[in-house]
């Protein structure tokens, strides 16, 4: 004996959530059905509404239900700085530091020829069009420090440099609060090569 | 800046799932919106359908979309054995062992005067009505070995004994594969008191 078909269907559907395996999906399904049916309906509604209405910001490509996201719609930011990111979560992470006042461009992925992801999928043409307008003075490449992220940053850097615009890459190094002993060799090498002189 | 209202609403709704905190909810919401909108719609549908159609088995009170669950509908089981459980998951756990051939009764909770959960909320009247029919020869109490589970077992045992039906409680003891060194004193005491003679 196992659960009835509708419960099994729900358990299977819950597995689409990242980090949810068969045991957690089962626990979630039974919890909702036994104790919180109202919340389950609310979740169903929120899922449907978000999927139907959330599109992308037409300027920076982040997730947004309005044509322009909150950042792009703001007039009080510095239009000479443009930060290029892999995903909307990275954008939120940087916003939460409060240390960046420019605008963003979200690639939604990285170059990955094996998976068939090329420059056009990342909207790099739109990025270059935007740079063509001439407002942006510096492009900060904040893709992830992975092989693909580095390759993507390199590819964009080449083209931006040709347009005569300054390009920079976020610093790699020892995380604040980290202990040298536990940091991998690649990061340490970057931290040494990228050392800054103290006055 | 934070996410747009609909995304925030989705993140909040995902927190109804057990074990999902703010960070995982955010990761889940963005994963679905960025990579798997189809699965999100499927999940919304599965949630709605399960909430609308899954009720309880009219005999054993487990979750079921049919009037009788698969176990209660089966004719090939032993009607003289009735196992009383706290929740549908426990029923699945016992079914999966394949070692029990009787029927079940699911309390859906345990006695808890503080939370206002009394015998009528657990369907104990229905359980006694069922025993009145006279088919059941032994009631196996398999509520959890917690204070509330023990109290619930005790309460039911009293009444079943009065009806002249045999009552038993599942054994407490050392789990198979466990090491004595790491087992708590209460369990060890139970294991000693409940020792069985070898031939």
Give B33's contacts in chain A (Cβ within 8 Å). 50-51, 54, 63
Q: What is the mean pLDDT of chain B?
A: 90
Beta carbons of A169 and A161 less than 8 angstroms apart? no
Give B30's contacts in chain A (Cβ within 8 Å). 63, 87-89
Calculate how close chain B gets to A197, using CA atoms only, in Å.
34
Instruction: Please list, in sequence order, all residues whose beta carbon lies within 8 angstroms of the beta carbon of residue B25, skipping any fewer than 6 positions away.
Output: B11, B12, B14, B15, B17
Calculate how close chain B gets to A49, using CA atoms only, in Å.
7
Is the per-residue pLDDT at B158 higher than 90?
yes
A103-106 vs A138-141, strand pairing mode: unpaired
User: Which residue from B30, B50, B70 is facing A1, i.e. has the nearest CB?
Assistant: B70
Phi-psi bin for A149: left (phi > 0), alpha (psi -120 to 50), beta?
alpha
To which residue do tokens 């020892």 refer?
A: A174
**What mean pLDDT comes out for the span A69-75?**
91
Give B47's contacts in chain A (Cβ within 8 Å). 10, 13, 32, 40-41, 43-44, 47
The domains of chain A, with CATH numbers, are 78-169 (3.40.1360.10)
The predicted structure's pLDDT at residue A96: 85
CB contact under 8 A, A44 and B47: yes
The predicted structure's pLDDT at residue A177: 81
User: Which residue from B18, B31, B54 is facing A31, i.e. has the nearest CB?
Assistant: B18
Q: Is A26 helix (H, G, I), strand (E, B) or coil?
A: helix
pLDDT digits (tens, 9 = 90+) for B48-78: 999 999 999 999 999 999 999 999 999 999 9
Is the per-residue pLDDT at A1 higher than 70?
no
Calculate how close chain B gets to A138, using CA atoms only, in Å.
22
Instruction: Please list, in sequence order, all residues whose beta carbon lies within 8 angstroms of the beta carbon of residue B163, skipping any fewer than 6 positions away.
Output: B128, B131, B132
Is the per-residue pLDDT at B126 higher than 60?
yes
**What mean pLDDT comes out for the span B164-188?**
85
**What mean pLDDT comes out for the span B134-158?**
92
More confident residue, A18 or B178: A18
Angle between helices B37-53 and A22-35 (to 10 degrees): 40
**Structure tokens, B108:** 């859906």
Closest to B16 (Cα-Cα) out of A27, A7, A120, A137: A27
Query: Using 50, 70 and 90 to split pLDDT, how confident is the model at A178?
Result: confident
Is the per-residue pLDDT at B29 higher than 70?
yes
Query: Using 50, 70 and 90 to split pLDDT, how confident is the model at A93?
Result: confident
More confident residue, A179 or A40: A40
Find how far residue B5's CA is from the centre of its chain: 37
Question: Using CA atoms, how far apart are residues A173 and B184, in angstroms rounded to an integer?
Answer: 47
pLDDT digits (tens, 9 = 90+) for B82-122: 999 999 989 988 888 888 999 999 998 999 989 899 999 99
More confident residue, B86 or B2: B86
Q: Is A14 helix (H, G, I), strand (E, B) or coil?
A: helix
Is the per-residue pLDDT at B42 higher than 70?
yes
More confident residue, B11 or B185: B11
Give A123's contacts in chain B (Cβ within 8 Å). none
Is the per-residue pLDDT at B1 higher than 70?
no
More confident residue, B28 or B175: B28
CB contact under 8 A, A54 and B16: no
The secondary element (H helix, E strand) that includes residue B56 is strand B55-56
Beta carbons of B160 and B138 less than 8 angstroms apart? no
Q: Is B84 helix (H, G, I), strand (E, B) or coil?
A: strand
Beta carbons of A118 and A175 less than 8 angstroms apart? no
The predicted structure's pLDDT at residue A176: 82
Give A63's contacts in chain B (Cβ within 8 Å). 3-4, 7, 30, 33-34
CB contact under 8 A, B16 and A4: no
Assembly ipTM: 0.80
**What mean pLDDT comes out for the span A163-169?**
92
Q: What is the mean pLDDT of chain A?
A: 90
CB contact under 8 A, A88 and B30: yes
């Amino acid at each position: 004996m196992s659960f009835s078909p509708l419960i099994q269907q729900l358990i299977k559907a819950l597995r689409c959530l990242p980090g949810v395996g068969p045991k957690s999906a089962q626990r979630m399904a039974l919890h909702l059905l036994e104790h919180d049916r109202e919340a389950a309906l609310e979740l169903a509604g929120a899922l449907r509404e978000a999927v139907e209405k959330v599109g992308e910001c037409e300027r920076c490509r982040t997730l947004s239900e309005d044509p322009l996201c909150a950042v792009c719609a703001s007039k009080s930011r510095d239009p000479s700085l443009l930060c290029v990111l892999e995903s909307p979560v990275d954008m939120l992470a940087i916003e939460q530091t409060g240390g960046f006042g420019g605008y963003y461009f979200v690639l939604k992925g990285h170059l990955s020829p094996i998976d068939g992801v090329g420059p056009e999928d990342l909207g790099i043409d739109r990025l270059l069009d935007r740079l063509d307008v001439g407002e942006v003075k510096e492009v900060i490449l904040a893709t992830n420090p992975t092989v693909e992220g580095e390759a993507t940053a390199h590819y964009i850097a080449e083209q931006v440099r040709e347009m005569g615009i300054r390009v920079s890459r976020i610093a790699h190094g020892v995380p604040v609060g980290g202990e040298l002993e536990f940091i991998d060799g690649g990061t340490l090498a970057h931290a040494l090569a990228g050392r800054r002189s103290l006055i």
